Amino acid sequence: MKKALLSVFLLLMYMNPVFAQGRHAEGEVLAVLDTPVYGYQSAAINSMAQSFADSTGLMALGTFSEIAKLSGKNIIHLKSATKSTEQLMRELANDPRVKSVSPNYIKRTNATVPDDPDYDKLWGMEVIRMPEVWDHIRGDSDICVAVLDSGIDYNHEDLKANMAVDSYGNHGRRFSEKGNVSGDPMDYFGHGTHVAGITGAVGNNGIGVTGVSWTVKLLAVNALPNGEGYDSDIIAGMNYVLSEKNKGLNIRVVNMSFGGWEEPQQDDSPFGNTLKTLSDAGIICAIAAGNESQNISNPSGTYKGKLPYPACFHYANTITVGATGPDDAKSSFSNYSGAWVHIAAPGGENHSEIYSTMPTSRGQYGYMKGSSMSAPYVAGAAAILFAAFPHETPAQIKERILRSARNKGVSEGYWEKGILDVAEAYDIASVPDIDAPMISVGITGKTEISVGESIILNNTKNPSNANGDFKYLWETDNNSIAEISWGNGPSAEITGLSKGRSTITLSITQTLPSGETITKSNSVDILVSAKSSGSSGCNSGLLLTALLLFLPSFRKDAEQRFR
């Protein structure tokens, strides 16, 4: 039945202007509310979403609390029982409470099934020169790669030793059918297991194949269980990745071997905002360029006027990856563009597909080709480089990968930098510390105290990998109510002196490696109450995380940054 419905969708694309925007869930949208929600708890975020839905006569199907807490933007999955997506888009675009709105697009995995598997099985590892790297480093079990795909066969003989365990005690999570969540991310489709094997199948264990990184942790994020998934489920998967990272899982890389052609989107779209939040959290995102044989800068036919996403979202830590064959030539199916595709990696060609792990129920090992297979080579490269250079920032690791690429396909306009060469990336003596400027700063701690009580306020920086030298200045607007002791450090001790309200302001001046300086400030009100007997008189459960979003003036949009 589902296949029949999808066929109808494809037919309607040519008759209905709504579907010209791309395949999506009819009657559903994803909206970004204009009200900042930095530091809000899940209950408050959900309440705000429900109030908005009630006021518009819509159903709120879900929110994404980790994304909201980090980006300050509340993304709501909305549905109407009577209105079309086109009607919802028009109405919400004119609602002053809505910052941006998009359809709930359907994306699919970027792989094709091979038919003539008569080639050397692991030629891709030779092409990217992994044996030369394995002489020195083979990975690190502390590094985690999240595979956002159709799941992983976590019982596979060549993967189970490298599977991560999340805060729920599972090997990942499954997000499907617009809101259904399960703790079992098992792959029954095959694509995600194949991708996972390229990145991190166990190496040197005497069985099967090896991944780029022999020792790594793989987190299965199953949001495309049958080879395709809704944006709402994929965003929920990314929200889960951020949540697990914040709970202590060392997620350094996410692989995204999926995509869909859609109307050009802005960075503040629901999907764009979510991907940027991942990037700002210091996670390298390896993204497949797609398999439609299109010049992304000048697509033709039914693709004209559209762009493939997420491949065309470009942020500080995203890498878009095209596909090549054994001879470094562009794969015939691969999308390409010197403006949109950073780098290429083995993805296969006719009679030269990529061999990797498959679900045990489907034979354990098999062949696929596509840019879906190219992205996990880059994800694995990032993981092993993080292991080799643990003190380098994500920006430096990305720079290693791009700077070391073999200069092939660049003059033809296929790729911006060339073809992945991990040995060359490893051999670079040092990479300059790339500027990672602050976007915002925050203050965390209790906001109500009693006279005579002292509390500690701490600072936060967004993104978390902001680098350089920092100077801190804590100030109060009324030192007769609250006294500050901070010693020029990142934390401040606040002591209540008399009943009243005092505004505490934190200013952080960042000197970037390039020498440029940036100053960001934020404030929080501290309420000092009269001292009471037997009780501090404060609400010990009242916490506040205050952040203000401020985009640096030197930030450029995708077209300007990647020309």
Catalytically annotated residues: 149, 191, 372
At 90 the three-state DSSP class reads helix
At 441 the three-state DSSP class reads strand
Return d(Cα 513, Cα 72) in angstroms, integer. 27
DSSP conformation letters of 178-203: TTEEES----SSSHHHHHHHHHHPPP
Return d(Cα 185, Cα 200) in angstroms, integer. 17
At 70 the three-state DSSP class reads helix
DSSP state of 292: S
Return d(Cα 102, Cα 93) in angstroms, integer. 9
Helix 371-388 / helix 191-200 crossing angle, nearest 10 deg: 30
Contact 196, 376 (CB under 8 A): yes
Tokens of 324: 């090549």
**Beta carbons within 8 Å of 410's beta carbon, 6+ residues apart:** 338, 416, 417, 418
Contact 121, 355 (CB under 8 A): yes
Q: Choose among 383, 384, 396: nearest CA to 145.
A: 383
Q: Residues, the chain, total?
A: 563
Contact 221, 147 (CB under 8 A): yes
Return d(Cα 29, Cα 32) in angstroms, integer. 10
Helices (H), 248-308: 270-280
